[in-house]
């Protein structure tokens, strides 16, 4: 078995082949036992390095996304939201056309119903598949006129090119009072809904509500 010298170790570190560096002896053993042809051994090493780098990239993208709570679709409590269209949401998630076709998803409903959790699950799903994304929380601050214009410009540039996941406590008819601009709001809603999936959660209950114990 060939032992790595310092120069080879240095080269492997430089080109960032960490898996091969850590599994050098293992790869040589497989080659000597004849379990792999030269081609298959190279493919195996490349595949291992690829998977590690892809996972590291995924973790880095998740970190940059600044997601506050790591919700995933598999653990979303659909059983606590019987009025939510689970089939529609899961089909959207599995089809993945919100990314492949650059379509928006808009979740509308009261506070605490799981809008952010679902949006986070979709965002995480996209990052897991190699896309970039970022969680931005606007909160409940009053929007200035210039911010409305900037928001409209942003959504206009993203239209049919990139996907946005939007959550709102207000229905579309109430956006004008929040954004303080009737004309821009109408144009924005038209632009958003033209290429969006809208998830109505207005009849859903708050997931933050806990049932009080009734004394016996």
pTM: 0.77
| Model confidence pLDDT, tens digit, residues 161-201 | 788 899 999 888 888 777 777 887 888 888 878 888 999 99
| Model confidence pLDDT, tens digit, residues 123-167 | 999 999 999 999 988 655 566 666 666 767 777 666 667 888 999
- Strand 104-108 relative to strand 196-200: parallel, antiparallel, unpaired? parallel
Distances (CA, A) of 212 to 81, 113, 200, 209, 216: 18, 19, 28, 9, 12
Work out the number of other CB atoms within 10 angstroms of the CB of residue 201.
Answer: 22
86, containing H or E segment: helix 86-95
Radius of gyration of the chain (CA): 24
127: nearest Cα among 53, 60, 62, 56: 62
DSSP annotation of 206 reads P
CB of 84 closer than 8 Å to CB of 121: no
- Strand partners of residue 165: 105
| Model confidence pLDDT, tens digit, residues 77-135 | 999 999 999 999 999 999 998 898 888 999 999 999 999 999 999 999 999 999 999 99
**What is the structure's pLDDT at 215?**
36
């Amino acid at each position: 078995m060939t032992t790595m010298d310092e120069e080879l170790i240095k080269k492997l570190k430089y080109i960032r082949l960490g898996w091969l560096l850590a599994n050098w002896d293992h790869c040589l053993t497989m080659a000597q036992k004849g379990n792999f042809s030269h081609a298959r051994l190279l493919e195996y090493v490349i595949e291992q390095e690829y998977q590690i780098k892809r996972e590291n990239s995924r973790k880095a993208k998740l970190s940059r996304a600044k997601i506050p709570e790591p919700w995933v679709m598999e653990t979303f409590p659909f059983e606590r939201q019987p009025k939510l269209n689970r089939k529609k949401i899961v089909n959207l998630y599995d089809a993945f056309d919100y990314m492949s076709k650059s379509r928006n998803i808009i979740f509308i409903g009261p506070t605490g119903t799981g809008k952010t959790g679902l949006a986070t699950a979709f965002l995480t799903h996209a990052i897991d598949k190699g896309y970039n994304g970022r969680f931005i929380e606007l909160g409940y601050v009053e929007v200035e006129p210039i911010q409305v214009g900037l928001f409209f410009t942003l959504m206009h540039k993203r239209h049919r090119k990139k996907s946005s996941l939007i959550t709102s406590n207000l229905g579309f008819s109430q956006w004008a009072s929040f954004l303080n601009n009737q004309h821009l709001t109408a144009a924005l809603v038209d632009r958003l809904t033209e290429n969006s999936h809208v998830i109505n959660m207005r009849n859903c209950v708050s997931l933050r509500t806990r049932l009080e114990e009734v004394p016996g």
